[in-house]
Amino acid sequence: MSRRLLVLEGKRLVEDALRRGIEPIASAITPSYIRKNGEPGFPCIVVSDEIFKKLSDTDSPQGIIALVPIPWAQISESSLYKRIIVLDGVQDPGNVGTIVRTAEAFGFGMVIVTGDSASPFSPKAVRASMGSCLGVKIARASISQLKAIPHAILSLTPYGRLSLDEIKQTDRIALCLGREGTGISPELMRISKESVSIPISGVESLNVAIAAGIAMAYLSGLLEK
């Protein structure tokens, strides 16, 4: 299957794509899905449940699957957004998808991933994002390209120099999240304006997706003041 195509499986994901104005290039559906939900409203190939199971990536197929173009954005589009996220080597696709979902919820309009991050368009990441990978602009970039974005780069680490509540208001923020376990890469730290942390007690660190949600909630309020 072409790497330029994104697989959307399940009624919710397919309908979300349609609501966002994204039309499938190809799709397959089972007779049982049609009996339960009716015709989907766009051209589909009807296949048996047995054949559909071979196409499906899930343990409990829902009977509908669609292929759409992978909507990679350009890093130059970052200038259109006040709040963006940078994923620097985040490896777990579930974490990546959850962060993308949270980014849309808190008004972070773009997610930029470095080369060694898990793909936001892998099946597990797509399911974790619950369709937000189609609503948030997602771009790929190298560390050198990140130097040119018009944002204050804030790297979230367990031992940041500043606490989140010490961040001063700024017009444009790029919140950077690092690899599970090892955190932000030295290369990205060198181009960061500041390292920041979430005040916690009793544990050394938080899951990266949870930490991302806390930080995004705080920063979204900071920018709206």
Nearest CA to 8 among 61, 72, 87?
61
Cα separation of 52 and 60, whole Å?
11
The per-residue pLDDT for 201 is 85
Cα separation of 123 and 22, whole Å?
18
Nearest CA to 11 among 68, 63, 59?
63
Give pLDDT tens digits for 142-185. Answer: 999 999 999 999 999 988 999 988 887 678 999 999 999 889 99
Angle ∠(111,26,127) on CA atoms, nearest 5: 40
Give pLDDT tens digits for 128-144. Answer: 999 999 999 999 999 99
Mean pLDDT value across residues 88-96: 96
Pick the CATH number of 72-224 from 1.10.287.610, 3.40.50.300, 1.10.1280.10, 3.40.1280.10: 3.40.1280.10
The per-residue pLDDT for 204 is 82
Which run of H or of E encompasses 217?
helix 208-224
Q: Residues 145, 183: contact at Cβ < 8 Å?
A: no
Residues 6+ apart with CB under 8 A from 26: 45, 66, 67
The per-residue pLDDT for 187 is 95
Domain boundaries, the chain: 5-69, 72-224
The per-residue pLDDT for 94 is 97
Statement: 5-69 belongs to CATH 3.40.50.300: no
Nearest CA to 64 among 11, 111, 101, 131?
11
